[in-house]
Amino acid sequence: MEKRCLDSGVKGVSTGTTILAAIFDGGVVIGSDSRASIGGEYVSSKTINKVIQVHDQIFCCMAGSLADAQAVTKAAKFHLSLHSIQMETPPLVISAASVLKDLCYKNKEELQAGFITAGWDTKKGPQVYVVSLGGMLHSQPVTIGGSGSTYIYGYVDAKYKPKMSREECLQFATNALALAMGRDNVSGGVAHLVVITETGVEHVVVPGNKLPKFHDE
């Protein structure tokens, strides 16, 4: 296994990936592809789960080194759980994002992981936060990340509208993921989407062969 390797900067398994999140009218959609690779040469898993539930109505998507991202989200889950027990109330989405940011910023030398956090809370409703590699925290209505995101900036800029309906937003997210997976070699597999609203959480999985096809396919 040592033969396959370390040309990319990430040691071990990497989620060279496409992740995104977008706010619609009444909730937020967060989604990712499902491919994990080693050195960008070999697909080590076709069905890896990159959308992790850190609390009842808060999810986050991981990008970068799989080991680092899994370790950080585990720590974040623990901190959030403790925080919500102490506060006797569900945590705010910004708290979840801050926990991730703190971990990424304080350990920026050792870690190679970035996140998109999305969720719903009673104070501000649906929100999306992005925590980048070095630990920057920023709130945006729509955000994309991972190596596959470069191929869909144009699409997202052109097609995103605030206050879309749930169906429109789901279609937008599916299209965006499909376009990115079609062009980026380290993104692929199935599209995992999670819709978070005031009432709850819904998982939508679109298998690779059911993804929308575009003119060149």
Binding region for another protein (CB under 8 A) out of 34-42, 90-98, 174-182, 206-214: 34-42
Nearest to 102 by CA among 136, 78, 70, 56: 136
Decide: 148 and 181 in contact? Cβ < 8 Å.
yes
Q: CA 160, CA 22: separation in Å to the nearest integer?
A: 8
Q: Quick one: which of 29, 61, 144, 176 contacts another protein (CB under 8 A)?
A: 144
The least CB distance from residue 156 to another protein, in Å, is: 11
CA 198 to chain centre: 20
Q: By CB under 8 A, tell whether 67 contacts another protein.
A: yes
Binding region for another protein (CB under 8 A) out of 50-58, 141-149, 158-166, 206-214: 141-149
Decide: 120 and 57 in contact? Cβ < 8 Å.
yes
Question: 17 an active-site residue?
Answer: yes
Nearest to 22 by CA among 199, 217, 196: 196
Q: Quick one: which of 30, 51, 63, 181 contacts another protein (CB under 8 A)?
A: 63
Structure tokens given for 164: 């879309």
Q: By CB under 8 A, tell whether 65 contacts another protein.
A: yes
Nearest to 101 by CA among 70, 135, 74, 130: 135
Active site residues: 17
- Provide the binding-site residues for another protein, judged by CB under 8 A: 1, 7-14, 16, 36, 40, 42, 44-45, 47-48, 63-67, 70-71, 74, 110, 112, 114, 130, 132-133, 138, 143-147, 149-150, 186
